[in-house]
């Protein structure tokens, strides 16, 4: 279901698989995460300790209590804008 301006799906998947195998996807994710953290005024690397699953409060329906899905959307939009800026 790629837009018409992209190459055939088999070519796109081939390159995607290559990038997964050689670590390109992980590297791009790390660079984007660090850029986003800097853009939001935080340290590039995560400094908080890892929290175990017993420490996180959840609602009965599952998911984090008080979770604002709007934050996730704003963060995702910011990451996509970083990608667009780096590409152009």
Per-residue pLDDT of the chain (88 residues; tens, 9 = 90+): 888 999 999 999 999 999 999 999 999 999 999 999 999 888 888 776 665 555 555 555 555 444 444 444 455 566 666 666 666 5
Cβ neighbours of residue 52 closer than 8 Å, sequence gap 6 or more: none
Cα separation, 41 vs 44, whole angstroms = 9
How many CB atoms are closer than 10 A to CB 37? Answer: 14
40 domain residue, yes or no: yes
Total count of domains within the chain: 1
Q: Whole-angstrom distance between the N-terminal and C-terminal Cα of the chain?
A: 24
Percent helix / strand / coil, the chain, rounded to 5: 60, 0, 40
Range of the domain at 88: 23-44+72-88
85 domain residue, yes or no: yes
Cα separation, 84 vs 71, whole angstroms = 20
| pLDDT tens digits for range 29-39 | 999 999 999 99
């Amino acid at each position: 279901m790629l837009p018409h301006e992209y190459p055939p799906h088999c070519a796109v998947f081939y390159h995607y698989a290559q990038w997964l195998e050689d670590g390109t996807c992980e590297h791009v994710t790390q660079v984007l995460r660090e850029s986003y953290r800097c853009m939001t005024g935080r340290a590039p690397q995560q400094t908080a300790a890892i929290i175990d699953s017993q420490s996180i409060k959840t609602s009965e329906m599952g998911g984090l209590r008080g979770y604002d899905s709007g934050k996730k959307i704003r963060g995702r939009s910011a990451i996509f804008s970083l990608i667009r800026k780096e590409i152009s």
